Amino acid sequence: MSVNKELKTTWNLSLLFKSDDAPEIEKSKKGQEKAVNDFVNKWEKRNDYLESPKALKEALDDYETLHGNYGIISKVAYYLHLKSLLNQLDTNIQAKLNQEIERITHLQNKIQFFELRLARIDKNKQQEFLNDVQLQLYRHFLERIFAMSPYLLSEDAEKVINLKVQPAHEFWVNMVSEFISKETRRVLNEKLEEKEASFEEIATLMNSTNKKVRDTAAKAFNEILQANVEVATKEINAILYNKKIDDTLRKVSRPDLMRHIEDDIDSSIVDTMLETVEKHIQIARDYYKLKAKLLGVKKLKYHERNVPYGDIDKDYSYDETVKLVLKTFTNIDDEFAGIVKRLIDNGQIDAFPKKGKLGGALCANSNKNDPIYVLLNHTNKLYDVQVIAHELGHAVHFELLKQTPLALNYDASLAIAEVPSTFTEDFVLDELRKTADEKMQLAILMTQLGNDVSTIFRQVSAYRFEQDLHNSFRKVGYLPKEQIGDIFQKHMANYMGDAVEQSEGSENWWVYWSHFRMFFYVYSYASSLLVSKALQRRVRQDKSFMKEFKKILSYGMSKSPKDTFKDVGIDLTDKNFWEQGLLDMQKDLTQAQDLAQSISN
C-alpha cells in the first residue's frame, strides 16, 4: 500500500472546525447545552427509572443519544485541546480552553445526578436490572456504575470534586510543564546554541552514540530538571495532598484503588502482574549487564541506558518511516493499513517538533464521531520508528472501537488500551530484522529487549515508586525533594542492577515524568505488553487470528478486560500467564547473549 508522494505532516483541524471563530463552534455549544437541559428536564425529578427496567431502558436510550451526539467532553474542548498541544505557549488558546472546560464541567455537574442515583440503588435492585433482558445492551455500563457505588459522595460533594480538578491538580501540572519548556529554551540558547529545539530533542540526543553529544545533552537535561525541582516538589506535594483528600472522602482502602475501578480491572490482577514481574527482575539486570559489556564499559551512566548498541545510528526520515510502518501494518492486516493511510491522507498526524509544541507522542481521541489525531516529535531515529508504530496502533484501536454499538462504551480500559500499540511496535522491529546480518540482528534484538525492559520492568518499578510516594506522603504530610529523589532512585536502582549507576542528577528525573501526575497509569504498559506478546505468538502461528484480535479491539467498555481477553483464551487472574511473557523475554535475552558470544569469537 503506497502513500501520497507529498506526505501531510501537520494536523488538519478543519476536520473539526474551520477556525476559532467558526459559527459552528457556537452552534455546537448551544446544541450540547440544549441536549443536556432536555435530558435534565425530563429525568431529574423522576424516580421511576430507579425502580422500573422499562423506564430505565428509556432513560439509558436518551443518555446514549446524548453521548452519541456530544460525548463526554465537547467537540469544542477537543478542538481547543489539540490546538493547545501544538502551542503550549499560546495563552489565548489556553484561556479559551479553560473557559470551555469550565462550561462543560457545569454541564457535567447538571447531568451527573443520573449516574449517581443509579449507583445508589440497593443491591437487590442492581441485580434485577443486570438480569433484565431489555437492559442487556447496557449491562456492563451498569456494572461499572454499580462498582463505584461504595465510593461516591453526595451530589453536591461530587460537583465540588469536579470543579476543583483544574485548580487543585491540572493547573499545578501544567505549570511545571510550562516551566520546563521555558527553561529548555534558556538552556538551549545559552549552552547548546540551539534556538528552536525542544526538551524532547534534548532527551533524544542523550541516546546518541557520540559520547560527547549525549553527555552534553545529559548535562543540559539535568540542568533543566534541577532548575525546576523546587517548584515540581511543591507541585507534586499539592497534587498528592489533593489525591489524599479525595481518597479520604471516598474511604478508599489504597491509593491506587480508584485507578483500578476506573480501568475496570481487579486490584488482585494488577497485584499478581506486579509480583510476577518482580520475581523475574533479574532479566532486566542481566540485560543492562550485557549492554554495558557490549558497549565496553564497566557501568552505564544513568542517561546511557537507552544508547543503542551496534550500527543502527542511521537516520530514518519521516517518509521512510511511514513507508516501513505501512508495509508492516499491511503484512499484519489490510484493515490496519487502510486506517493508517486514511489518517495520513486526511492530515491527522502532526509529525515534527516545533517551538511550544508538547513533547513526546500521543494519540488523541474524543467522541465516537470525531476524528482521531496523532502527535509525534519525529527526529529521524530508530526510536521514532517505534513511536509512530506505537501511536498508530492506538489509532487503529480507536477506529475499530467505533464499531461498538454504544457511544457510552466508546472508550478503552488502560488494561487494554496499550495492547494494540505494543503489538504493532514489535512487528515493526521484526520487519527490520528480516534483512539483517548477525551483527544487525544483535543490534535490533538489543533494541527490542531495551524496549521490553523499559515497558515492563521500568514501569513496574515506576508503579512501586508511586505507591511508595503516596504512602510516604500520607504518613508525614510533606515530602522534600531529597526524600522524593531517594525514593525514586531506590526503585530505579532495583530494576537496573549494578550495571547502571544512579548518576548525579538522576534523582530528579521524576520531575518531567508526566505519568506520575496521572496516578498509577503505568501498570498498563507492563500488563499490556505481556498480553500483546501472547497475542503476537498467536498471530505468528495463525494469521487468521487477526479476525478475533480485531473483534476484541472493537468491544470498548462493553466488557471488562478480564472478560475481553477470556474470549481469546487469556486468563489475567493466572500468574502462569504473566510468567509466559517473561519467559519469552528470557529466551530473547539468551539469544542476544549467544549472538554476542558468537560475534566476539
Q: For residue 108, is pLDDT > 60?
A: yes
- Please, are residues 420 and 393 in contact by the beta-carbon 8 Å criterion? yes
Q: How many domains does the chain have?
A: 2
- Residue where a domain stops, chosen among 133, 164, 195: 164
Dihedral of the CA atoms 323, 326, 332, 335 (nearest 10)?
A: -160
Domain, as residue range, for 108: 13-164
d(CA 440, CA 97): 48
Residue owning grid cell 443491591: 123
d(CA 302, CA 447): 17
569 and 421 in one domain? yes
Q: 239 vs 94, 126, 211, 390, CA distance in Å?
A: 21, 35, 38, 29
Q: For residue 407, is pLDDT > 90?
A: yes
Q: Where are the beta strands (DSSP E) in 148-205?
A: none
| Residue 124 belongs to a domain | yes
Give me 308's grid cell.
Answer: 543503542
144 and 35 in one domain? yes
Residue owning grid cell 527482575: 281
pLDDT at residue 194, rounded to an integer: 53
The kind and range of the H/E element at 212 are helix 211-250
pLDDT at residue 434, rounded to an integer: 81
pLDDT at residue 209, rounded to an integer: 85
Single-letter code of the amino acid located at 132: D
Average pLDDT, the chain: 91
Q: Smallest Cα–Cα separation from 305: which of 318, 317, 287? A: 287
Q: For residue 283, is pLDDT > 80?
A: yes
- Residue where a domain stops, chosen among 140, 164, 188: 164
Q: For residue 355, is pLDDT > 90?
A: no
Q: Indicate the SS3 state at residue 374.
A: strand
Q: For residue 196, is pLDDT > 60?
A: no
| Residue 326 belongs to a domain | no
Q: Indicate the SS3 state at residue 407.
A: helix
Q: How confident is the model at residue 425 (pLDDT cuts 50, 70, 90)?
A: confident
pLDDT at residue 293, rounded to an integer: 95
d(CA 517, CA 232): 11
Q: Smallest Cα–Cα separation from 334: which of 1, 71, 30? A: 1
What is the residue-wise DSSP string for 235-278?
A: HHHHHHHHHHHHHHHHT-SSTTHHHHHHTT--HHHHHHHHHHHH
Q: For residue 195, is pLDDT > 70?
A: no
599 and 474 in one domain? yes
pLDDT one-digit tens code per residue, 285-307: 999 999 999 999 999 999 999 99
Q: Which 8-state DSSP code applies to residue 16?
A: T
Q: How confident is the model at residue 183 (pLDDT cuts 50, 70, 90)?
A: confident
Q: For residue 569, is pLDDT > 70?
A: yes
508 and 400 in one domain? yes
Domain harbouring 65, CATH code: 1.20.140.70
- 238-255 burial, b if ≥16 CB within 10 A, otherwise e? bbbebbeebbeebebeeb
Q: For residue 1, is pLDDT > 60?
A: no
418 and 271 in one domain? yes
- Please, are residues 223 and 191 in contact by the beta-carbon 8 Å criterion? yes
156 and 21 in one domain? yes
Give me 248's grid cell.
Answer: 479520604
pLDDT at residue 197, rounded to an integer: 63
pLDDT at residue 63, rounded to an integer: 96
Q: Which of 127-141, 218-232, 305-319, 452-466 has the lowest mean pLDDT?
A: 305-319
Residue owning grid cell 487469556: 570
* Mean pLDDT of the region 64-75: 88
532 and 418 in one domain? yes
- Residue where a domain stops, chosen among 111, 139, 164: 164
Residue 275: CB atoms within 10 Å: 12
pLDDT one-digit tens code per residue, 19-36: 988 899 999 999 999 999
576 and 456 in one domain? yes
| Residue 33 belongs to a domain | yes
Dihedral of the CA atoms 104, 110, 112, 118 (nearest 10)?
A: -160
Q: For residue 492, is pLDDT > 80?
A: yes
| Residue 556 belongs to a domain | yes
Sheet (strand 362-364) strand order: 349-350, 373-375, 362-364
| Residue 391 belongs to a domain | yes
**Residue 79, CB-side half-sphere exposure with 13 Å CA sphere:** 22
266 and 155 in one domain? no
Q: How confident is the model at residue 190 (pLDDT cuts 50, 70, 90)?
A: low
d(CA 216, CA 218): 5
Q: For residue 422, is pLDDT > 80?
A: yes
* Mean pLDDT of the region 251-269: 94
Residue owning grid cell 536502582: 493
| Residue 106 belongs to a domain | yes
DSSP β-bridge partners for residue 375? 350, 362
Give me 346's grid cell.
Answer: 486526511
Inter-axis angle of helices 91-111 and 75-86, nearest 10: 150
List, in order, residues 6 or more apart from 423 with CB less than 8 Å away.
Answer: 393, 532, 535, 536
Domain harbouring 402, CATH code: 1.10.1370.20
Higher pLDDT, 183 or 573: 573
* Mean pLDDT of the region 521-541: 92
Could you write out the three-class secondary structure of 133-145? Answer: HHHHHHHHHHHHH
The kind and range of the H/E element at 119 are helix 113-119
Q: Smallest Cα–Cα separation from 481: which of 246, 232, 299? A: 232
d(CA 213, CA 199): 15
| Residue 7 belongs to a domain | no
| Residue 291 belongs to a domain | no
Could you write out the three-class secondary structure of 521-559? Answer: CCHHHHHHHHHHHHHHHHHHHCHHHHHHHHHHHCCHHHC
Residue 27: CB atoms within 10 Å: 10
